Amino acid sequence: MEKDNILEVKNVHKRFTSKGITVRAVSDVSFTVKKGETIGIVGESGCGKTTLGRCIVRAYDASEGEVFYRTEAGEELDFLKADRKKMKEIRKEIQMIFQDPYSSLDPRMTVLDIIKEPLKANYPKMSKAEMDNKAKEMAARVGLNPSYLMRYPHAFSGGQRQRIGIARALVLNPSIIVCDEAVSALDVSIQAQVINLLKDLQKEFKLTYLFISHDLSVVEHISDKVGVMYLGKMVEYGSTEQIFAHPRHPYTEALMSAVPVADPKYRQERIPLKGEIPNPANPPSGCYFHTRCQYCTEKCSENTPEYIEVEPGHFVACSRCDELNLRGFDYSQLQ
């Protein structure tokens, strides 16, 4: 494991089997994360981005692969193979913020109890007063009024609820937070408040974010690096600038061309994607994307492309990436 990496995901697979049918939700995903970075994971619904996030926090047990993690104490270990005791210890450092602020909070607990719950579970010996103090401190930090903490979640608006979820994730003082569509359910003006809060907290607590989202403009704003997923595979991974301005994978190009830009003068030519996402239980042969790719050749349907580093820090899984000249966002038009 390299020195400044906090997380190294290596060849992670996740398969779900039901009634004899196996779905490869995540297949062979690898990437590395440096401390303090924000990694955006994008892709269409059903591409496996949430499953990947859940494998990393071990809410699902991955079928194969390794997730190396450097603990705060400096120890390196494979989180996926850690025993129960060790796992519990590491989980304090890897927390999650969920998508839907309405269903992820227990309606029968007060907000204070919700924020306190992780402390109760992880520090059973901590005194009640100390727990209350920590919870209140964190609530104030994320912008919740301390006098409202005895209320129940239903009394709060969507943005406030998401703040509760953020406080709950932060109260254990984690170093990595997996944000699974953390702002997708919110209105734009509230979205901006929560994004600003997440960025402030990142600076203050030196957090590393894994930001899973389908909203590409939010991802462009918040991320240092972006991974693009298609049908369970990571097809491209690189810095935000590399992915948005100079994509090397045809799927990334098509995805970028479909993003609506909030400027009526911006002219973009959409690259059409043929057909629909194939059934993940029965993925196409060769390159998974070849059925919808406009640059597809015969070879693409036979050979599985390798996931290679085309320039420093920029990984692509496309056998034709060297010969293609793909278009990203036209930044000159946007300034």
Partner 1 sequence: MEKENIIEVKDLHVDIKMLEGLLTPVRGVNFEIKKGETLGLVGESGCGKSITCKAILGINDKKCVPHGKIDFRTVDDKEIDLLSLDPKGKEIRDIRGKQISMIFQEPMVAFSPMYTIGNQINEATLLHITKDKKKAKEISMEVMRKVGIANVEKRYNQYPHEFSGGMLQRALIAMALVCNPKLLIADEPTTALDVTIQAQILELMKELQKEFNMAILFITHDLGVVAKMCDRVAVMYLGRIVESGDAETIYANPQHPYTRGLMGSVHKIGGKKDERLFSIEGTVPLAMNLPKACGFYDRCDARIEGLCDKAEPDLVEIEPGHQIACFNCPNAACQAQRAAAEARIKEEEARAAAEETEDKKGGKKRGKR
The residues of the shown chain that bind partner 1, judged by CB under 8 A, are: 44-45, 157, 159-160, 187-193, 195-196, 199, 214, 216-218, 220-221, 240, 244, 254-255, 257-266, 270, 272-273, 276-277, 329, 331, 334-335
Contact 76, 32 (CB under 8 A): no
Q: Which residues contact 181 (CB under 8 A, 6 or more apart)?
A: 50, 99, 212, 213, 214
Considering the complex, state which of residue 54 and residue 161 has its C-beta at the smaller distance from partner 1. Answer: 161
| Terminal Cα distance for the chain, rounded | 40
Considering the complex, state which of residue 56 and residue 254 has its C-beta at the smaller distance from partner 1. Answer: 254
Q: For the sheet containing 314-316, what is the strand order?
A: 94-97, 176-180, 208-212, 38-42, 225-230, 233-239, 314-316, 308-311
* DSSP H or E stretch at residue 179: strand 176-180
**Distance of closest approach, residue 68 Cβ to partner 1, in angstroms:** 29
Helices (H) and strands (E) in the chain, counts: 10, 12
**Distance of closest approach, residue 258 Cβ to partner 1, in angstroms:** 4
The structure tokens listed for 199 are 């960025």
The one-character DSSP state at 49 is: H
Considering the complex, state which of residue 43 and residue 286 has its C-beta at the smaller distance from partner 1. Answer: 43
Considering the complex, state which of residue 137 and residue 200 has its C-beta at the smaller distance from partner 1. Answer: 200
**Distance of closest approach, residue 289 Cβ to partner 1, in angstroms:** 12
Considering the complex, state which of residue 20 and residue 264 has its C-beta at the smaller distance from partner 1. Answer: 264
Other CB atoms closer than 10 Å to residue 209's CB: what's the count?
Answer: 24
Considering the complex, state which of residue 87 and residue 192 has its C-beta at the smaller distance from partner 1. Answer: 192
**Distance of closest approach, residue 98 Cβ to partner 1, in angstroms:** 19
**Helix, strand, coil percent values for the chain (each to nearest 5):** 35, 25, 45
**Distance of closest approach, residue 243 Cβ to partner 1, in angstroms:** 12
Considering the complex, state which of residue 111 and residue 254 has its C-beta at the smaller distance from partner 1. Answer: 254
**Distance of closest approach, residue 55 Cβ to partner 1, in angstroms:** 22
**Distance of closest approach, residue 159 Cβ to partner 1, in angstroms:** 7
- Which residue(s) pair with 41 in the sheet? 212, 227
